[in-house]
Structure 1
Amino acid sequence: MVWFWCVKLWKRICAETTTEINLLADSWKYILSGLIFQYIHGLAARGVHYLHRPGPTLQDVGFFLLPEFGQDKSYISETLFTFVFLSFIVWTFHPFIFKSKKIYTVLIWCRVLAFLVASQFLRIITFYSTQLPGPNYHCREGSKLARLPHPESVFEVLLINFPRGMTHGCGDLIFSSHMIFTLVFVLTYQKYGTKRCIKQLGWLIAVVQSFLIIASRKHYTVDVTVAWYTVNLVVFFLDKKLPELPDRTGGASFLLPLSTRDKDSKTKEENHKLLNGNSVDPPDWRQRTQVNGKILDDANLVHADATAMNGA
């Protein structure tokens, strides 16, 4: 029984891998561009650290309302962010394991990277416009990390002192990068996820993450506030411009490579249609659970089925 399950799982992983490779062959430029911009964003954050000048912590309403964690408890917000980050990655790769396949991993990451790049581009412009004295402990007066010495070579800047340079930066405040990732992940699952309880939990975690960032004195309240409405607006407008993800309720076998050479061109054509947001599903597939480009959650799916039966 276990052997049969393992064989079935292995076949599913192989079929899904082939499907995703076909999609990656047509969209690798978008994935690569998004990953390169992640480095550019880190490079920009590293560069503004050279411009940072420590000073008195600015007056902040969040600092008055939320107690200060202190350096010994600053790991709490990073732990929660790491949980959100890893959980989202695992979810995007769940079609390789689970039978219920609602998304394509390559296409969902094309979309996520587009949201991240647009938000990070606005963030770079903002924190280079005005450098505020960092509220974090290593950015305050007297800390050795508050000011970076003049770089000895260009390689010192290009290497961005990873990963320490990413976690101990100063000056890249408005707006919070942690909230960019958190909100993009939550908004993506809100649209393409299927579990209502996880959607509600995601928004709760985003709110808690906001409070933890302020309580850890990693950002001012304005950094978190600006991130909330900026990221939501970026996702709202950019989502309308991007091609919608296709519905894969009926399966993904049409993306698998065919044995005969004369059918290869047909598969490639179908993949192009898929990337452009055009469904290539045959008309006799079973009833779809995707409505207006949004995956229905468990509760709404039951309601949709009942409505369809009443209207039949």
Structure 2
Amino acid sequence: MTLYIGREASKLWKRVCAEVATEISLLAENWKYLLAGIVFQYIHGLAARGVHYIHRPGPILQDVGFLLLPELGQEKAYISETVFTVVFLSFVLWTFHPFIFKSKKVYTVLVWCRVLAFLVASQILRIITFYSTQLPGPNYHCREGSKLARLPHPDSVIEVLLINFPRGVIYGCGDLIFSSHMIFTLVFVRTYQKYGTRRFIKQFAWFIAVVQSLLIIASRKHYTVDVVVAWYTVNLVVFFVDKKLPELPDRSSGIGSLLLPLSTRDKDGRTKEENHKLLNGNSGDDWRQRVQINGKILEDGNTVHTDTTMDGA
């Protein structure tokens, strides 16, 4: 038993090292795109902070969602944020799980380049929209009488640039159309829909996206229009931006071995091909092979049948 655990631990460590080497080489080529996407997250937060200064509380607008869904109230407002946090952390862990498990078919760095491109495109549209028209916030801290509904004039530029993180993000007002929470949720769900391998998780993810939408309205973080606009805007953005981006390389085609900075034979005497098999999880005891077609990962349980006919055979 001890020998088996030691052998598996050794395989895991070598696979992690191979993954790290591959991802570092990809990071060296794509770090500018990742950095630009991360910097824009700050710009998006700065824009949301800025619109809070010009927010003016007023009567809550008539909303169908508010009539149909009872308000959770300040005491239960955490439910919506908790669901979103679980979605966020689950997606992040999924993008990094290949360093541990054998089922990796995509590269972590390239997936995040794609995700950040979707987020940036959606957030640019969001900034333009909520600066065009400021609606009175429906959330409890944005209503008339709340000290947080209006921000006093900033004393310095530094105060604006610091955006009072994270309190300034959580208790923001005025950045309504359309929902930022739904941008992240839908981008994550659409990404897993294309590159994930578990059909059940894909179906469950869409269910959670619907639940998240209802919770956002019930907690009065957004009007119903903010959620509805997010649903069709983000899906359209992902659809069109995805067509402009180069497709992720298929690991099963052997590209991964070209990315590995390995010599012809490593210190343990393994060839590049053997390291590539270890990297992709195609060891001798793993007889199941998943197939990637046109950049989409087929779910577990699906098989592809091909009929090959040769003349003269």
Q: Is the structural similarity TM-score above 0.5?
A: yes
Tell me what 1:87 maps to.
90
* Aligned-partner Cα distance in 2 for 1:9–1:142: 58
> Is 1:141 aligned to residue 144 of structure 2?
yes
Tell me what 1:75 maps to.
78
Structure 1's consecutive aligned runs of 4 or more residues displaced over 6 angstroms after TM superposition are: none
Tell me what 1:221 maps to.
224
* Aligned-partner Cα distance in 2 for 1:49–1:41: 13
SS of equivalent to 2:252: coil
SS of equivalent to 1:298: coil
Quote the offset at 1:3 in angstroms: 1.7
1:125 to 124, 128, 131: 128
Quote the offset at 1:137 in angstroms: 0.4
Contact 1:101 1:249 in 2 (8 A): no
> Is 1:236 aligned to residue 234 of structure 2?
no
Summarize the alignment of residues 41-120 of structure 1 with structure 2, pairs less than 5 Å apart: 41-120=44-123
* Aligned-partner Cα distance in 2 for 1:107–1:209: 27
Q: Give the paired residue count.
A: 283
* Aligned-partner Cα distance in 2 for 1:100–1:59: 49
* Aligned-partner Cα distance in 2 for 1:75–1:310: 57
In structure 2, give the amino acid aligned to 1:138. Answer: H
Deviation track 1:241-287 (CA, whole Å, cap 9, x = no partner) reads: 00000111255232111348xxxxxxxxxxxxxxxxxxxxxxxxx98
Structure 2 unmatched ranges of 5 or more: 265-287
SS of equivalent to 1:188: helix
In structure 1, give the amino acid aligned to 2:261. Answer: P
Quote the offset at 1:311 in angstroms: 7.0
Residues 64, 18 of structure 1: alpha-carbon distance in 2 compared, 3 angstrom cutoff? same
TM-score by length of 1: 0.88
Quote the offset at 1:310 in angstroms: 7.4
Tell me what 2:292 maps to.
290
SS of equivalent to 2:103: coil
Structure 1 unmatched ranges of 5 or more: 261-285
* Aligned-partner Cα distance in 2 for 1:156–1:311: 71
Summarize the alignment of residues 135-214 of structure 1 with structure 2, pairs less than 5 Å apart: 135-214=138-217
2:262 to 228, 235, 258: 258
Tell me what 1:38 maps to.
41
Contact 1:192 1:295 in 2 (8 A): yes
Tell me what 1:276 maps to.
none
Contact 1:37 1:117 in 2 (8 A): yes
2:17 to 14, 17, 37: 14
TM-score by length of 2: 0.88
Quote the offset at 1:116 in angstroms: 0.1
SS of equivalent to 1:212: helix
RMSD: 1.6
